[in-house]
Structure 1
Amino acid sequence: MGDPVVDGFWSALGGGHDLVERLQPTTGRGSLRSAFPVTELAVASIGAAGLAASELVSATAGAAPTVTVDRALASGWFGMTLTPVGWQVPSPWDPIAGDYRASDGWIRLHTNAPRHKAVALEVLGVADDREAVARAVAQWPAQELEDEVVEAGGCAAVMRSTIEWRRHPQGMAVAEEPLVAWRDGLAGRPGGGWQPTAGRPLAGLRVLDLTRVIAGPVATRLLAGLGASVLRIDPPDWNEPAIVPELTIGKRTARLDAHEFAGLEQLRALVAEADVVVQGYRPGALDGFELGARARSELRPGLVDVSLDAYGWTGPWSHRRGFDSLVQMSAGIAERGMRWAGADKPVPLPVQALDHATGYLVAAAVLRGLTMAVTEGRGSIAQLSLARTALVLTSAGEGDDAAEATLDALPTRDEATQWGPAKRLLPPLTIEGAPLAWGLHARDLGSDAATW
């Protein structure tokens, strides 16, 4: 990968080609060992976000900062950056989640959410026991089981090759989508609370974070590092304890129940006072609350609105629930990894690279949207997906099976969290004159009031 991918990302974001020159040669060495060029994807997506930040600084403060990405640190930030000191985080995976051999192939069940787990066990007709699940799955044709689980509201994905995916109706639909789909928002500008400077380009900017798990929170973590006031909203019953310490740094976190009148009214009030909304619900999920993209723009003219989903915004699977590991199975990544490794089971990427790369591209889209708001006086609406990012990776050639990046030797700094002390990797992105810095410690979901 390399420069052509950065150019492709920047072009998809609508950036001017002349700004690419601000991206300096990478520092650091090493690559994540994979069938695909994962480290190059990390460098390119983080670099694109850095270019978008540099452009915004130019538009608001008159400077033209250069951007540098550290290759090894970029690999590290595509994994877990936080190491607890004297405490532990739970496993990110439910015991039932994982790959299973069906009667005619491989299938992955995603059961981290309790309701998704309940669906899988009900369809299989077994108790909460991995061996029982494996025996039951072995009796099913893989496609039939995927269909049954998905139809019942669960999450599953058959392992397909890249060729099979590109011939699949959803794969064909995704291939026709742009990496970043843009629409004009309504006329307007960010609120007066945003006071950008060359050193803190997002100081005072209000970012409403309606995302979960990894991709969206990665985006808003970067925005918080540039000075944004990020407020994350979760429903009352949602928890992700394994990754919350990793991803809530710099943010305030609150809970609202949009199914109740008071909760929905408060959510609408937060949208009306936001400068940016980042949301990761499935297409149409917020329409029932009268909070679809157009409604959000009408509530807040000039809003920069960026959405992401798993399987794309068109095609028969556009409303399907999905996660990085499932898209890797569907899009041919795990199958090619299996052949590359000479293994007898699916081999995923060494990190959740689709989540992280899409997250940095979401952040870049927000930053580009802010530049358009400043220079053109209007809001914007952008859409991205994990599946479309996967197409970039699977089209990028071979990965690296040589020496792995030495992630255990990467520099860290001490950090306080709500759970105790920790060490976090130094940021992979350097924007000249605007160092990434987070003013709030990582905290649990629901720790703050749902107000600006």
Structure 2
Amino acid sequence: MPSVFPVSDLAAASVGVAGLAVSELIGLAGAAAPPVRVDRRLASFWFGTTLRPQGWELPPLWDSVAGDYRAADGWIRLHTNAPHHRAAALAVLGAPADRAAVAEAVVRWEAGALESAVVGQGGCAAAMHSQQAWAAHPQGRAVQAEPLLHWTEAALSQPMPAPRAWRPVPGRPLQGVRVLDLTRILAGPTATRFLAGCGAEVLRIDPPGWDEPGTVPEVTLGKRCARLDLATPGDRAAFERLLAQADVLVHGYRPGALDGLGLGAVWRRRVNPGLVDVSLCAYGWSGPWRERRGFDSLVQMSAGIADAGMRAWARERPTPLPVQALDHATGYLLAASAVMGLARRWRDGVGCEVRASLARTAHLLVQGGLADGAAPALAAETVGDLAPGAEATSWGAARRVAAPVTVEGAPLRWERPAGALGTAPAAW
């Protein structure tokens, strides 16, 4: 993919890590660990979008106000896809939901001051930093010191029996595994989509009224989707029952959010001692921004990726990666972590906690420096890049790009088409 960073390498590597984790799981179950093959071209497509509607169109990915704006001293990105984030940004700016009016208001602010004001209002924004500035920033330094994947050893100190009997099946390695999905947008849903492709039963839980029409058709493949209000006693009790019977929990609430609902790590471990608890956040698990809301496009601004692209290509505005690579790469790393956690639990009878962040994945990408030259654009997609057959989604028929990784004898296969949120009961 055309970028000053090795995005296609990141795509192939992260997809491959997930495939290798599945292969090792099969090997642990007694069969020979099968070979894994990654299609670099297809992996690059899967870092973009994979759904190809037939006779209908996907909704826009971005809200009309979201995007990069010139401030008095630099650039800032506003993330306004969620209604409450949009309201926060507009309230700070005192502007209507009109792009020209927002631009006129933003240019009167210094980027850092506007970022702080929007974040303080409960919104999402990121001033553009250079790589050097981010490396010296307290949050940048904190992220660089974190591991790519953090396994909490304390959770493994007391062996516990697994909550349910389960054994990997070579042809369908995660058949019988129950995955509770509390994630949104791309990174977490990418992870759980991969797990569904390996045979896991994935139940996604969203709050009442939540929707993300631009991404749901892409990421709900293979899943059932239900709704619960975790702040109400009845739905909290339902969630506790689901968690007690789950094998894996994947969650992407910002750090501290579940604790505020009384659903923190200690509570989760008490409800389900054998749980494989996998979580992600935007800006890392330590440092002053550890609880900050964030998304891939914002982290690219903060971490110097958009600035590096702008400088390398002598452009006049932020130049991010061609895809939301931090989301996708983190998603496949989370999927690999979940599979590795299941393998460890099956072997040793213990649960575990694994954490990742978009900012730490960004650090992984930039560690090797800029590429010698921009990679060429992918050749135009052909029918040979698509999986056979049509997918009967909730919105109409569609084709899907073929799977990017093959574990011999255990191909990725999704038994449910993509579907709308809130269409299934909150039950296994």
Name the counterpart of 2:408. Answer: 432
Q: Are 1:179 and 2:153 an aligned pair? A: no
Partner of 1:448: 424
Is contact 2:174-2:199 (8 Å) kept? yes
Q: Distance in 1 between matches of 2:116 and 2:380?
A: 39
The two structures, once aligned, show a CA RMSD in angstroms of 1.1
Identity %: 57
Range that drifts further, 87-96 or 407-416: 407-416
User: Does residue 219 in structure 1 map to residue 195 in structure 2?
Assistant: no
Cα deviation for residue 210 of structure 1 reads: 0.5
Between the two proteins, the alignment pairs up a number of residues equal to 421
State the distance in 1 between where 2:224 and 2:376 align: 39
- What residue in structure 2 maps to residue 310 of structure 1? 282
Per the TM alignment, residue 88 of structure 1 is displaced from its structure 2 partner at its CA by 1.0
Partner of 1:154 in structure 2?
Answer: 123
Residue 337 of structure 1 aligns with which residue? Answer: 309
**8 Å contact 1:59–1:374 — kept in the other structure?**
no
CA distance in 1, matches of 2:17, 2:122: 35
- Please show how residues 28-427 of structure 1 align to structure 2 within 5 Å: 32-184=1-153, 185=155, 187-192=159-164, 194-399=166-371, 400-409=373-382, 411-413=385-387, 414-427=390-403
Structure 1 stretches lacking a partner, 5+ long: 1-31
Letter in 1 for 2:399: K
Instruction: Determine the C-alpha separation between the residues in 2 that align with 1:257 and 1:376.
Output: 35
Give distance in 1, aligned partners of 2:393 and 2:166: 27
In structure 1, C-alpha distance between the alignment counterparts of 2:87 and 2:291, rounded to whole Å: 20
Report the CA distance shift for 1:417/1:274 in structure 2 as closer, same or farther (over 3 A): same
The offset of 1:189, in angstroms, is 4.5
- One-letter code aligned to 1:325: S
Residues 250 and 438, structure 1, Cα contact 8 Å, conserved in 2: yes
Q: C-alpha separation between the residues in 2 aligned to 1:189 and 1:430?
A: 32
Instruction: Return the TM-score normalized by structure 2.
Output: 0.96
Deviation sequence 1:109-133 (CA, Å, 0-9, x none) = 0000000000000000011111000
Structure 1 position 62, deviation (Å): 2.3
Residues 163, 274 of structure 2: 8 Å contact kept? no
180-189 vs 213-222, which moves further: 180-189
Q: Residues 202-237 of structure 1, C-alpha deviation per residue, up to 9 Å, x if partnerless?
A: 001000000000000000000000000000000002
8 Å contact kept, 1:120–1:154: yes
Measured in 1, the distance between the counterparts of 2:162 and 2:339 equals 12
What is the rounded CA distance, in whole Å, between the counterparts of 1:189 and 1:364 in structure 2? 22
TM-score (normalised: structure 1): 0.91
1:51 Cα deviation after fit: 1.0
Report runs of 4+ in structure 1 exceeding 6 Å deviation.
none
